[in-house]
Structure 1
Amino acid sequence: MESREVELNERGNGVAAADREARREQSSTKVVVGGGSDDDDDDRLQNSVERIFERKDVPSWREQLTVRAFVVSFVLGVLFTFIVMKLNLTTGIIPSLNVSAGLLGFFFVKTWTKFLDKSGMLRQPFTRQENTVIQTCVVATSGIAFSGGFGSYIFGMSEIIAKQSTEANNPQNIKNPQLSWMIGFLVVVSFLGLFSVVPLRKIMIIDFKLTYPSGTATAHLINSFHTPQGAKLAKKQVKALGKFFSFSFLWGFFQWFFTAGDGCGFNSFPTFGLKAYQNKFYFDFSATYVGVGMICPYIINASLLVGSILSWGIMWPLIAKKKGHWFPADIPASSLHGLQGYKVFIAIAMILGDGLYNFLKVLHRTLFGLFSQLRKKDKGVLPVAVAERTSTVAASYDDARRTELFLKDQIPTLVAIGGYVTIAVVSIIILPHIFHQLKWYYVLVIYIFAPILAFCNAYGCGLTDWSLASTYGKLAIFIIGAWAGSAHGGVIAGLAACGVMMNIVSTASDLMQDFKTGYMTLASPRSMFISQVIGTAMGCVISPCVFWLFYKAFHNLGVTGSEYPAPYATVYRNMAILGVEGFSALPKDCLNLCYVFFAAAIAINLIRDLVGKKWSRFIPLPMAMAIPFYLGSYFAIDMCVGSVILFVWQKLNKAKADAFGPAVASGLICGDGIWTLPSSILALAGVNPPICMKFLSRTANAKVDAFLGS
């Protein structure tokens, strides 16, 4: 599971349904094999993926890196960066967009090549290797929008977020966003993770045969696109995506007309009544989160709803009654010594408890896996549940073909080591100039341990599909923040260290996932590495520019209760405050409640693992439960609506829902997400919505009428 915030985004979740369809398409393709093999071997060879593409030449690594691939990657990278940025700044839940990236990449280039072919100008056909390059580049570009911390640690440094609490908001603990230093910061920290794991690609992919479920699923998807049946399905999926993209975009445009003020528009509709609305229970008509709900597993959406009911339905109303006893009655609503403190720190306690449990779980599996690999001479015997470890002719042929090409284009180890050392030295020199609170020896210590942590994250991701990038980042917040101390800007030092660590371990696991995808599509490791580097470079410029557009266009960006509240910016900043100031920042009895929820998060995870898959699907995820504690439940209701739509669709026509569900969801997400571009431009141009649609109680409406009548 690749963590996009809060470890909820599974890179494989979005491709799961399409992957099942891909497997059906591949298994249905008959391959005629010559020779005198027996019937059993013929049956086995029918399932060989590489036999399907046997007659197609594999282009060299240079031919895989085409200009058209990077033009399409740039366009899609901008599109998905807007989507990820919007999700970052609203709830922090970011679903997998791999289906959209692979599907749209295939559609654009296929249309391009078809046009050139008809005009007789086609020089190079579109291959699955080029499709993999596009997928890799787009995911690398939009991934920077997450690991760059625009919805978490970078925005958490700003004065906007600092002003929402009375703690640690002195000038040395504030650094406002600027385009220049954000781009410079990302450039010096985003490439280290790529170089740190390059020498381990053969060990991870071939020797250890790690599964990397998301990378494998993505490869199946791309392979299926390039079969005749898969191409037909992809064309239909693109049509469905385009239809719901248009609907979502136009719906966002329509809603804009009614949002001429705070609390205006359909997104403030009191669906379940005004009292429920005051406690954040309402459906806000967001196409984005309906789409996210269709992609995310049912258990995540149910967990969000359970967390919403527990916090906003039960806990916060009860704690609010303790005003004057547990916290002063006249304290500002934004102070961490009031109700806000309970909302923030109890959510943090659950996030940390869940993160610690999964960190220890993945670390245990990583160490156990390494120990088993060292003990067993047979490299085929794995400590993981690898899908169908068979010795069939098909598997042997595919493995031999893939291994041959994977080892063909080597990336020199000296290049990887030299690149890491060079960038590390440059980074150690430059980072203290960007953040004077972050001393050079803090950065040096991070870079000494970073390769080990990057390896652990990449290996653990291969075993479990979980990337713990944000967990490692939170660890850096507490360690470096406490080391720097409150008197020396420990909040900024901790947040900056979080960014350094997150970028390294996140890009390391991403690259290894892409190596696995390339291995299964016969894409060269060199083309994978170069496309990841180019995608990362594009992301280092595109993401800050997109964030800057949001920052300048929306005056209430980051303010609680606004359209873009950036909840994780507040959470990360308060983690840094907790690391620097200790438990003195907590209101009365908040620490005891934090202990309870920290332990509960660990206990729930433990129970989930002990009861097995049959029953664990009915036990909520603590990480998902924690998100609404601070933000509210409106987006959880949207996501549950998405789940209900998908559930009913699957009951009516499961095959069609599995094939087209991800495409429909992606269309809803993309259309609403891209609407933020014209809405931002309108805001910058001073064009405001003409209508404010508000919903008032009968009593409030009578007062307004009386006031207007007078």
Structure 2
Amino acid sequence: MGINDDYENGDNLINDNDNNDANQKNKKKKEEEEEAALSVERMFESQPVPSWRNQLTVRAFVVSFVLSILFTFIVMKLNLTTGIIPSLNVSAGLLGFFFVKVWTKFLDSSGLLKQPFTRQENTVIQTCVVASSGIAFSGGFGSYLFGMSERIAKATSDTTDFKNPSLGWIIGFLFVVSFLGLFSVVPLRKIMIIDFKLTYPSGTATAHLINSFHTPEGAKLAKKQVRELGKFFSFSFLWGLFQWFYTAGDDCGFASFPSLGLKAYKERFYFDFSATYVGVGMICPYIVNISVLLGGILSWGLMWPLIDNKKGDWFPANLSSTSMHGLQGYKVFIAIAMILGDGLYNFGKVLGKTLSGLYKQLSEKNRLPVADVASPTELELSFDDQRRTQLFLKDQIPAWFAVVGYW
């Protein structure tokens, strides 16, 4: 009886082990199937990835040029009105996909299509549009660039220190400002993206968006999005045209409607019916809208009236409204102090988090692996990560080119 019991226990143990192995295999197979279903790169595995030279097509540059002009007008409008520039990556990627898709569809129907539209070409368009329109904001066209001119200098003070705008030095200045970051980041791109796997929210979101566009379901969704974009664009244009007929000059019509009374109107509290503010408010996070509202109430409703009452005490009473020795000087220098303080705080915050993250990743890399912590399969890269790493390292900008450009 004892021998039979031992045999039965041994058989049961073997059966349990076989069942566990089978369960683990089924579980692993199921996980692989789920990973394959969620894998983005497997959907594009059959499509060859063109080299970076083939991604720079004529149609990409033509569409980028047209969209860059459109987005530059939008950025300048926002820069001179709200002062808040939301991220335009999604719009640039969407419109770039739509226009080139229409282009390629027409050529394909006529039998003249030689190169299909790829995700990489879509990224080239989006990058060119965002970079070009970004120069309109970061180049200082709505702030310091024309503020250095003789006209503005004479209007604010009796100074002879000015710099009149000239196309030659502006192009050189923008070239240096725009390419400085590129040349400095190129030698570090592999370390930051491959080695440390730092996350870039804006770039990651745009990449997911472009990937979704080039799937059948994403293409249908992009058509709906472009249709809605055209609908509200037409509404905004017609509303602006309607307001134009009721505008006889500055601070007139629906752009300066005294909804809170004439006393508040003198303190710059009025309602602007421009659709621009509605659109920017919908795009920006709610905390930004609340901050702008509270800032407007505290500054124009409290600070400037209180400082203006000190006219003749804190500053001469006979100064013009644009003089930097009067109320305008308080506005400018208080605003500059707040911008510098906020910028310094965020710089220290980002730098501290970056150094902390790098130190944490370095310490984890130097730590010896433990068998109980993770299995070898968990430490392996997914198919998406392997393919993206391979494509990322495929075409590299030479380090010497970046160093020469930086110097």
After superposition, where does 1:341-420 map in structure 2 within 5 Å?
Answer: 341-377=329-365, 396-420=382-406
Does the 8 Å CA contact 2:82/2:277 hold for their aligned counterparts? no
Q: 1:97 aligned to 2:88? A: yes
Shift of 1:140: 1.1
Out of 32, 38, 52, which is 2:29 matched to?
38
Shift of 1:189: 4.2
Does the 8 Å CA contact 1:48/1:395 hold for their aligned counterparts? no
Q: 1:50 aligned to 2:69? A: no
Secondary structure of 2:382's counterpart equals helix
Q: 1:59 aligned to 2:46? A: no
Shift of 1:44: 2.7
Q: Distance in 1 between matches of 2:293 and 2:178?
A: 35
Q: Distance in 1 between matches of 2:249 and 2:405?
A: 51
The corresponding residue for 2:70 is 79
Summarize deviations over 1:79-121 as a string: whole Å, max 9, x none: 1111112222233211111121011100000001111111111
Q: Distance in 2 between matches of 1:395 and 1:160?
A: 60
After superposition, where does 1:403-482 map in structure 2 within 5 Å?
Answer: 403-421=389-407
Whose radius of gyration is greater, 1 or 2? 2
154-163 vs 93-102, which deviates more? Answer: 154-163
Out of 146, 159, 179, which is 1:191 matched to?
179
Q: 1:159 aligned to 2:150? A: yes
Q: 1:289 to 1:210 in 2, by over 3 A?
A: same
The corresponding residue for 1:293 is 281
Shift of 1:353: 1.5
Q: Distance in 1 between matches of 2:331 and 2:253?
A: 26
Q: 1:319 to 1:192 in 2, by over 3 A?
A: closer
Secondary structure of 2:86's counterpart equals coil
TM-score (norm 1): 0.50
Q: Distance in 2 between matches of 1:89 and 1:209?
A: 37
Summarize deviations over 1:504-545 as a string: whole Å, max 9, x none: xxxxxxxxxxxxxxxxxxxxxxxxxxxxxxxxxxxxxxxxxx
Q: 1:392 to 1:151 in 2, by over 3 A?
A: farther
The corresponding residue for 1:119 is 110
Summarize deviations over 1:203-238 as a string: whole Å, max 9, x none: 011001000111000101101111111111110000
Out of 267, 277, 295, which is 1:279 matched to?
267
Does the 8 Å CA contact 1:195/1:417 hold for their aligned counterparts? yes
Secondary structure of 2:156's counterpart equals coil
Q: Distance in 2 between matches of 1:131 and 1:224?
A: 12
Q: 1:146 aligned to 2:137? A: yes
Does the 8 Å CA contact 1:46/1:394 hold for their aligned counterparts? no
Q: What's the Cα RMSD here?
A: 2.3
Q: Distance in 1 between matches of 2:299 and 2:271?
A: 17
Shift of 1:335: 2.4
Secondary structure of 1:140's counterpart equals helix
Q: Distance in 1 between matches of 2:287 and 2:246?
A: 34
Q: Which amino acid aligns with 1:404?
A: Q
The corresponding residue for 1:458 is none
Q: Distance in 2 between matches of 1:264 and 1:178?
A: 33
Identity %: 76
Q: 1:138 to 1:331 in 2, by over 3 A?
A: same
Q: Distance in 2 between matches of 1:188 and 1:353?
A: 26
Q: Distance in 1 between matches of 2:281 and 2:396?
A: 41
Shift of 1:183: 2.0
Q: Distance in 2 between matches of 1:313 and 1:237?
A: 40
Does the 8 Å CA contact 1:44/1:393 hold for their aligned counterparts? no
Q: 1:375 to 1:310 in 2, by over 3 A?
A: same
Q: Which amino acid aligns with 1:418?
A: V
After superposition, where does 1:595-614 map in structure 2 within 5 Å?
Answer: none
Q: Distance in 1 between matches of 2:214 and 2:78?
A: 32
Out of 293, 301, 308, which is 1:313 matched to?
301
Q: Distance in 1 between matches of 2:140 and 2:69?
A: 17
